[in-house]
Amino acid sequence: MERKEKLYEGKAKIVYATDDPDKNILYFKDDATAFNGAKKGSIMDKGVINNKVSAKLFQMLAENGVESHFIEQLSDREMLAWKVDIMLVEIVARNYIAGSLAKRMGKSEGGKLEHPIIEYYYKDDALNDPMINRDHVLVFGIASGEQIDSAHATALKVNRILSEYMLERDILLVDFKLEFGSHKGKMLLADEICPDTCRLWDRNTLEKLDKDRFRRELGKVEDAYQEICRRVCGEL
């Protein structure tokens, strides 16, 4: 597959066109950002790890009936994916109290929720990705009712599958962000699933093994990403 012109560069990836108009190449960068770009840095081999972990998880989800934009891993840093029109709603699934949920609710981090919470966020950097609900989505024409309901249902399914998969590897899936896109009228899971987009804690020690180590200046960021890669993929 021939890589052609750059279509878009985001905080963590570059999207390239290919000689097939239905397919794109995603290039995973080592750049790291937090707090909507207010904090910037670099994590050594982050792109390699996120590409590998995402590919593994997309393949595992496909085996469990969840379709995504993933086609194949092309190299250490490149993934071939179906071209999708990204829905401007990020779906966040939460299983434990952490991050912004802890702040909003005035709770300490770590408590397990009685059942998963699904939240919606409007994808707009200029507005700092505000939390919205289904009514906002429909009234402002951000997505259709069918699209947001499909994404919601899929997020719950992904949460169940991923939680079980991670627990088998002594990882707690605390919370995670998903993005969806439309391809030929079908909603597909898109973007990536990795330590950048998930909160992942060691099941026994509750040690953070994700991007929070970068956000909160906890140190050993590269070690945490490598540990997730070893547990999820079986190798680095």
Domain ranges in the chain are: 3-82, 85-218
pLDDT of residue 140 exceeding 80: yes
Q: What is the dihedral of CA 199, 167, 228, 90, to 10 degrees?
A: -30
pLDDT of residue 90 exceeding 90: yes
Q: State in words which class domain 3-82 has.
A: alpha beta
pLDDT attached to residue 27: 98
**Residues contacting residue 43 through CB under 8 Å, at least 6 positions apart:** 30, 32, 214, 221, 222, 225
pLDDT of residue 232 exceeding 70: yes
Which pair of structure tokens corresponds to residue 38? 């207010």
- Band (pLDDT 50/70/90 cuts) for residue 211 is very high
Over residues 157-199, the pLDDT tens digits come to: 999 999 999 999 999 999 999 999 999 999 999 999 999 999 9
Instruction: Report the alpha-carbon distance of residue 109 to residue 45 in Å, rounded.
Output: 29
Residue pair 15/24 in contact (Cβ under 8 Å)? The answer is: yes
Burial 79-115 (b: 16+ CB within 10 A, else e): bbbbbbeebebbbbbbbbbbbebeeeeeeebeeeeee
80-91 mean pLDDT: 98
Instruction: Report the alpha-carbon distance of residue 38 to residue 63 in Å, rounded.
Output: 38
pLDDT attached to residue 37: 66
Q: What whole-number percentage of the chain has pLDDT above 90?
A: 92
- Band (pLDDT 50/70/90 cuts) for residue 155 is very high
Distances in Å between the Cα of 187 and the Cα atoms of 148, 149, 190, 225 are: 9, 11, 9, 29
Topology classification of domain 85-218 = D-amino Acid Aminotransferase; Chain A, domain 1 (3.30.470)
State the average pLDDT for the chain. Answer: 95
Q: How far is CA 123 from the centre of its chain?
A: 13
72-86 mean pLDDT: 97
Instruction: Report the alpha-carbon distance of residue 141 to residue 29 in Å, rounded.
Output: 32
pLDDT of residue 235 exceeding 70: no
